[in-house]
Structure 1
Amino acid sequence: MNRLEAMELAEESEHCLRPAEAFALIGDETRVAILEALWQIDEQPAEFTTLYEMTETDNSAQFNYHLNQLTGHFVYKHDDGYELRTAGERVIQAVVEGSFNAHPDIEPFETGDQCTQCSGSLVATYAEEKLAISCPACGRTHGQYSFPPGGLIGRDEQAILSTFNQRVRHLHCLARDGVCPRCSGQMKTRVARGDDCCLDSDLRAEYTCKQCQHSLCSPIGLVLLDESAVISFYRDHGLDLQATPYWRLDWCVSDDYTTVQSTDPWVIAVSIVHDADTLTVTLNGNLAVTDIKRDTPRSVS
């Protein structure tokens, strides 16, 4: 299903507003203020009086009119008050994260890490709401992924990197598990080959939401960051994989350690090497793990 088909399906549903109607409903400062007040109130449902006082609206009749316009699509109305629907939460979250009203600009800065290919200094750059990690010396990219501008606000460079690392892990792990990180719809997984502007990898995993058409892509190895066998492998070497930025791991940023054993069906092996110790994880076309082997060299006495 493409984006046009998804929009047509939404328009045909009796439960969905047309996009223009949905945006028209929130195109008023009072209505946005109501949604923001509901988002800030800890105990919900919120009483009418509490909500009215928080929005500081001069006219109660006007306030009531705008509240009624939001009810049903962005706000639930209960016998004892009001609370946000998921759609209302999304509107306020978009404002808070900066998607609508924040456009910060930061200069490129060094991450303090080395390129997995040439050991040059990695640099982080931010443009068009995407953060990229790359090596100016050899040109290798170490991933370029969505990062809302709100993630930059109030954080220094190291905090930005840490947040970005956790975000990339979270989004792609959700996608691999079949859950759209944007709308919680079903994600379709496919293995693809060919050039991709944001990856230094011929082979990649692609995820597309069947509901909202949100898409993600990554090198195959990135899906193994939360795999228990891989976490244990690093723990055996005294390393905390979950605290390690993904761009330090060659198998997460390229396909140098990825071997295609079959394409029909897909059989893909990712070799993770540390101190001559090798863990080979085999996956199928859905990126489910089908086999794990470890080759640990025997110590010479």
Structure 2
Amino acid sequence: MTLVPPGAVNSDDSDTNCIKRLDEWVRHARRGFARGVCPTCANGLTTQFLDPESTFFPRDDLRSVFVHRSCDHCTDMRYLTVGEILRLRPPVVEFFAKRNRTVQTTPLWDLAFAATDLSTTVRGRNPWAFEVELTAEDDTMRVRLDDNLTLTDIDSE
């Protein structure tokens, strides 16, 4: 399985819209996985939490946990961060919008809380529980999630 669509692999370097199309494609696929819907076949997804040491990505300096979502129907799957799951949740979108940042259209790699786990704390492993600290301008919001990735608490400063 390839993680890059054929249209992104192009020998024509003059295609200035290629990176924009690739960003939109990545955002679409990852948004589906973040919301629990397979973007390939629209099936529901199975969720597992994995320690970085047990994956192909053992960078514990960037990851404290992986959210592994997979489709039992078509076998598509992704490894996501907890911050990536939060990225499009209304309280997070609103927090950043009030500070003139648009998380819906910002490339994932430009959102530190979603691209890495540096803002994520694992609060428990049995059951799993997480806290993500979001910062914009001089404001901070802490969001807590349970093992269903449901928001359980929000604190703002």
**Partner deviation per Cα, 1:255-289 (whole Å, 9 max, x = no partner):** 11101111111110111112221111111222222
Q: 1:191 to 1:180 in 2, by over 3 A?
A: same
Counterpart residue number, 1:229? 91
Counterpart residue number, 2:82? 220
In the alignment, the residues of structure 1 paired with residue 141 and residue 70 of structure 2 have an alpha-carbon distance, to the nearest angstrom, of: 29
In the alignment, the residues of structure 1 paired with residue 117 and residue 143 of structure 2 have an alpha-carbon distance, to the nearest angstrom, of: 13
Shift of 1:155: 8.1
Match of 2:30 among 172, 176, 188: 172
Contact 2:34 2:84 in 1 (8 A): no
The normalised TM-score by structure 1 is 0.46
Structure 2 residues not aligned, in runs of 5+: none
In the alignment, the residues of structure 1 paired with residue 137 and residue 100 of structure 2 have an alpha-carbon distance, to the nearest angstrom, of: 12
In the alignment, the residues of structure 2 paired with residue 188 and residue 170 of structure 1 have an alpha-carbon distance, to the nearest angstrom, of: 19
In the alignment, the residues of structure 2 paired with residue 186 and residue 278 of structure 1 have an alpha-carbon distance, to the nearest angstrom, of: 33
Letter in structure 2 aligned against 1:194: P
Structure 1 residues not aligned, in runs of 5+: 1-127, 130-145, 296-301
Counterpart residue number, 1:253? 115
Counterpart residue number, 2:140? 278
In the alignment, the residues of structure 2 paired with residue 156 and residue 224 of structure 1 have an alpha-carbon distance, to the nearest angstrom, of: 35
Shift of 1:221: 0.7
**Partner deviation per Cα, 1:175-234 (whole Å, 9 max, x = no partner):** 233321112222101221124445742311100112222211122111122111111111
Q: 1:150 to 1:235 in 2, by over 3 A?
A: same
Contact 1:176 1:189 in 2 (8 A): no
Contact 2:64 2:120 in 1 (8 A): no
> Relative contact order, CA 8 A, sep 6+: which one is greater?
2
Shift of 1:157: 6.5
Contact 1:176 1:287 in 2 (8 A): no
Q: 1:293 to 1:157 in 2, by over 3 A?
A: farther
Q: 1:220 to 1:160 in 2, by over 3 A?
A: farther
Q: 1:282 to 1:158 in 2, by over 3 A?
A: farther
Counterpart residue number, 1:139? none
Q: Give the ranges of 4+ consecutive aligned residues of structure 1 lying more than 3 Å apart after TM superposition.
A: 151-158, 195-200
Q: 1:213 to 1:228 in 2, by over 3 A?
A: same
* Seq. identity, %: 26
Contact 2:124 2:130 in 1 (8 A): yes
Q: 1:164 to 1:287 in 2, by over 3 A?
A: farther
In the alignment, the residues of structure 2 paired with residue 212 and residue 277 of structure 1 have an alpha-carbon distance, to the nearest angstrom, of: 42
Counterpart residue number, 1:161? 19
In the alignment, the residues of structure 2 paired with residue 156 and residue 205 of structure 1 have an alpha-carbon distance, to the nearest angstrom, of: 37
Contact 1:165 1:245 in 2 (8 A): yes
Contact 2:141 2:155 in 1 (8 A): yes
Larger Rg: 1
Question: Per the alignment, in what secondary structure is the counterpart of residue 262 of structure 1?
Answer: strand
Counterpart residue number, 1:148? 5
Q: Normalized per residue, which structure has more helix? A: 1
Question: Per the alignment, in what secondary structure is the counterpart of residue 223 of structure 1?
Answer: helix
Tell me how large the CA RMSD over aligned residues is. 2.3
